[in-house]
Amino acid sequence: MSDDRWEQLVDHAEGGEVSRGSMFGSRGLRTGKKFFAIWWQEQLVVKLPPARLTELVEAGQAAPFEPMEGRAMNGWVVAGDPAQWSGLVEEAREFVAAEASSRGSP
């Protein structure tokens, strides 16, 4: 069932600059060469701006992403409510695309 949720997110997001890839041995989505979402241990993980990360964590809607226990990965969170996943994937895509544009990378 949860893999179906990931595939639905991919189907909705894939196309144009967005493609599938692998990050940390997990399936992911990237814009250009930059990842913005991954499917990690049956959970959605997204990259968002610091203020948005803080907002989601403080509201209990996300948790810091710790690929190794006790070591949070800067800029990434594990999304909570599956009802919000599609919107968070789009936010993450927009953020990473804008970040790449401002740095002049593809």
Which of 105, 106, 50, 42 minimizes the C-alpha distance to 76? 50
What pLDDT digit, counting tens, does each position of 19-77 carry?
Answer: 999 988 899 999 999 999 999 999 999 999 999 999 999 999 999 999 888 888 899 99
Q: CB burial class (10 A; 0-12, 13-18, 19+) of residue 97?
A: middle
Domains and CATH numbers, the chain: 2-77+86-103 (3.30.1460)
> What pTM was estimated for this model as a whole?
0.89
- The mean pLDDT of 3-25, rounded to a whole number, is 89
